[in-house]
Amino acid sequence: MNSPPTHHRYWRAISVVGASLITVGIGAFYIDDATRFHFEFISDYSEVFGLLGMIGLLLSFIGCIGWATQLRKRNLVQLVFLVLLAPWLALLIGYPIAGINYHGAAAFVMMLIVPAAILAFVLSIMAAMKPRI
């Protein structure tokens, strides 16, 4: 089988771990808002969940760029669209729970739109520089 070398798989793993941390951070804020702040654990440690989201943002940003160097042009373009749509899908999924309130749970998701656009721009430049295969 033509499996990629082990160090190539680390970039994908870093990206997935980062996305998982972002999901945990956003999920905690939405759960807290959906239960009307009933779980004191989430309310008391909201800065930890916010920090998890920010660490996840950094990991997924670096992991996506490293992973993109191993992808073909077509897969890289698909990754660009996935990165652009992910924050908007999170807002759409969270809309029935908390609405689009920049003082609520959606504030963290809205803060992800700008870094996602920057990452998509970098990935699209990388895709433009790749030869068509």
- Residue 22 lies in domain: 6-127
Residue 117 domain flag: yes
Q: DSSP assignment of 71-126, as one string? A: S-HHHHHHHHHHHHHHHHHHHHHHHHHH-S-TTSTHHHHHHTHHHHHHHHHHHHHH
Report residue 11's pLDDT band, with 50, 70 and 90 as the boundaries: very high
pLDDT in tens, 49-79: 889 999 999 999 999 999 999 889 999 999 9
Judge whether 133 lies within some domain: no
Whether 52 is in a domain gets the answer: yes
Predicted model pTM? 0.84
